[in-house]
Amino acid sequence: MSLRPHASTLALLAVLSTGLCAAQTASQGSKNFAEPDRDGRIRTQLSARETAVVAGELNAKIARLPLKEGDSFKAGQTLVAFDCALFEAQLHKAEASNEAARKTLAVNQRLAELNSASRLDVEQAEARVKESAAEAAYMRATVSKCVIAAPFSGRVAKRLAANSEFATPGRPLLEIVDGGPPELQLIVPSRWLARLKPGSPFTVSVDELGQSFPAKVIRVGARIDPVSQSVSITGQISGNHPALQPGMSGWATFPGAQ
């Protein structure tokens, strides 16, 4: 009797072996990512505190898109304006209809007092007032979306549309980032939590600038990765440094890191 394993058994063992090796490799890669180098440094990246993709809610032509990539803006400043002549005309029509319905209601109420109109006439007039008021409110809400204002002060990271283009609801038009000092994102060994707290100082060397800056921990992650035994922390560079930009990277050095 042959003792050779069946071909399907060999295939299953090969798949299990490959999966195990891949899992071990992924685990080791994740673990190494959080481990400091021989000098006790951790890789870090600068990121904006706030980011947003600006998109419209209307089917309309872009009338004004005044900012270019890299331009700064203030909170509340117009980022995008649409050509809303049609919506504004519909709003005027809805408001006129509501005014006419109100006048009709007033007349019917007066006639009812004189027993020249029925209660049904009054109720129907009241219904028309509510319906026209709802239509006017809907159009006011629509017209209010003809201008997109900046939710915070910052800069344009990417411009995705141009003046006179036709925009559809949900189409990205601009990518914007907060204009304040960028934050530092790091992943460190979880064993460091015994000495890393909000306010803990460290130094970050930024590759793109070739300079080092003092920084501190401002937030510690809410959970530990059970595979890599690591935790994310967020830091902030002390002082005002206009040359720092989101996307830059570097090395963070913590006192007594091992």
Confidence of residue 88 (pLDDT cuts 50, 70, 90): very high
Residue for token digits 């979306």?
145
Write the class of the CATH domain 33-49+180-253.
mainly beta
Which pLDDT band holds residue 39 (cuts at 50, 70, 90)? confident
Which among 172, 158, 176, 183 has a CA at the least distance from the CA of 75? Answer: 176
Quick: pLDDT tens for 89-130.
999 999 999 999 999 999 999 999 999 989 999 999 999 999
Rg (CA), the chain: 31
Query: What are the residue ranges spanned by the domains of the chain?
Result: 33-49+180-253, 50-83+146-179, 85-144
Using alpha carbons, select from 96, 167, 95, 168 the residue that is nearest to residue 138. 95
**pLDDT > 90: what percent of the chain?**
77
Q: In sequence order, what are the residues at sequence separation of 6 or more whose Cβ sits closer than 8 angstroms to the Cβ of residue 63?
A: 81, 82, 83, 163
pLDDT score for 34: 62
**pLDDT (tens digit per residue) in 208-227:** 999 999 999 999 999 999 99
pLDDT (mean) for 234-246:
91
Residue 171 in this model has a pLDDT that exceeds 90: yes
Please, which pLDDT band fits residue 57 given cuts at 50, 70 and 90? very high
Confidence of residue 180 (pLDDT cuts 50, 70, 90): confident
pLDDT category of residue 16 using cuts at 50, 70 and 90: very low
pLDDT at 29 exceeding the cut of 80: no
Top-level class of domain 50-83+146-179: mainly beta
Count of alpha carbons within 13 angstroms of residue 61, beta-carbon side? 7
Res 257: pLDDT? 59
Q: Which fold has domain 85-144?
A: Helix Hairpins (1.10.287)
